[in-house]
Amino acid sequence: MSDNTQPASRQAHYNSQGLGPGERGNFAGSSGLLFEQAMAQTRMAVCLTDPSQKDDPIVFCNEAFEKLTGYTLGEIIGRNCRFLQGPLTNQDEVGRIRTALREESVAVVELLNYRKDGSTFWNALHLGPIYDEDGSLKYFFGSQWDVSDVYAARAEERHAKEMAREVSHRLKNVFAVIGGIVNITGRAMNAREVSNRINDRVQALGRSYEPTLDEAFLGTIEVGQAVRAVLRPYDPEGDRIAFIGNGVRTEPNAISAIGLALHELATNASKYGALTSDAGRVEVSWRHEHDRHGRGSLVILWKESGGPPVAGPPGAGGTGFKIADALLSHSHGGLDRQWEPDGLRAEIRFPLTH
């Protein structure tokens, strides 16, 4: 990573009269003592190099620099900062530093550095030129911050994401294979209608997981993503089903039961309910609810309107609802349906364990 910008001004940062040799390095300038005192107090490692000398040696560093690198002041002063580099230091980043120094611009790079004891740390290095009052280059200023923790966290997250992608890929495969088996078996046994129905359910289950797997490593999944994915085929134009819910997240094990229940409600609506007519609409909303004992549930409401007159529950005892019921009650949840005059209302309830 690098960020090169020209310094805002070439104005001198220190005026150059009267700075005696500092305690911690051999550099000159009148506000040097103030600078040294300030630098002694910061936990950020800081150094100054002198580009007028051969190989741009370090002429000042603070205690934090010694602490970070494990070298003593005597071992640091007079050396070029590259002594912190080693075999695994990214040469692209070193190249960026070279360019920035040549162009006298500010650079921010992250590179692997080595301590005296050979251990490594990720160094977020910021460097830039410092000019005297005549505008001529006096020093380069460098600040070093150990960002190894950030790197470790990023690496862990990357790994988790890769795993999630792999699992997602495999699961999609598994659903595709199951679909194939069901189809072939149904055809061979002259039970195509049954196999189609089974397959619809299997694929609905697959869809409900599909968008959530990439972030399953977070431990929770976004309800809205799963709900939309399951219902996508029932509203290809996207104008029949309204989704109302914010970014409510829930535990991944809620998804199978909820996915299947929504699939059955949508199939039912396409056969008998609101989705049979152009004017029919469905509203799906979701939220978390807590009872007075603090126990939480995910509640999904299904509300049909504008469909044909509701005469009763023709699909009420369908196999699909039995499966959804069974799955939900296994988790102490439930699916409650009511046939209101203007359309079916359903409430899917799934208790949360966390």
Using CB under 6 A as the criterion, which residues of the chain lie in contact with ligand FNR when the complex forms?
47, 49, 56, 80-82, 84-85, 94, 97-98, 101, 111, 113, 123, 125, 127, 140-142, 144
CB 98 to ligand FNR: min, Å? 4
Task: Give min distance, CB of 75 to ligand FNR, in A.
Answer: 14
- Cβ atoms of 315 and 321 within 8 Å: the answer is yes
Minimum separation from the CB atom of position 331 to ligand FNR (A): 55
Q: Give me the amino acid identity at 151.
A: Y
What's the token pair of residue 144? Answer: 């070093």
**133 residue type, one letter:** E
CB of 142 to ligand FNR, least distance (A): 3
CA dihedral 198, 200, 204, 207 (to 10 degrees): 120
End-to-end alpha carbon distance in the chain: 39
Q: Closest approach of Cβ 53 to ligand FNR, in Å?
A: 12
What is the nearest approach in angstroms of ligand FNR to the Cβ of residue 17?
A: 23
Q: 3-class DSSP state for residue 102?
A: helix
The residues with which 288 forms a beta bridge, in sequence order, are 298
Q: Cα–Cα distance between 51 and 128 in angstroms, integer?
A: 12
CA-derived radius of gyration, the chain? 33
What single letter denotes the amino acid at residue 345?
R
SS3 of 20-72: the string is: CCCCCECCCCCCHHHHHHHHHHCCCEEEEECCCCCCCCEEEECHHHHHHHCCC
For residues 4 and 101, is the Cβ–Cβ distance under 8 A? no
Query: Measured in whole angstroms, how far is the alpha carbon of residue 206 from the centre of its chain?
Result: 23
Give, for 195, the enclosing helix (H) or strand (E).
Answer: helix 192-209
Q: How far is the CB of 8 from ligand FNR (least distance, A)?
A: 18
Integer angstrom CA distances of residue 245 from 300, 301, 348:
9, 10, 14
**What single-letter amino acid sits at 121?**
F
Q: Least distance to ligand FNR from the beta carbon of 212, Å?
A: 42
Query: Residue 347: CA atoms inside 13 Å, Cβ hemisphere, count?
Result: 11
Q: What are phi and psi of 55, to 5 degrees?
A: 65, 30
* Min dist. Cβ of residue 73 to ligand FNR (A): 15
- Alpha-carbon distance 46 to 118, whole Å? 21
Question: Toward ligand FNR, which CB reaches closer, 84 or 275?
Answer: 84
Backbone angles phi, psi at 266, to 5 degrees: -70, -40
Q: Which is nearer to ligand FNR, 126 or 345 (CB)?
A: 126
**Least separation in angstroms between CB 63 and ligand FNR:** 15
d(CA 216, CA 228): 17
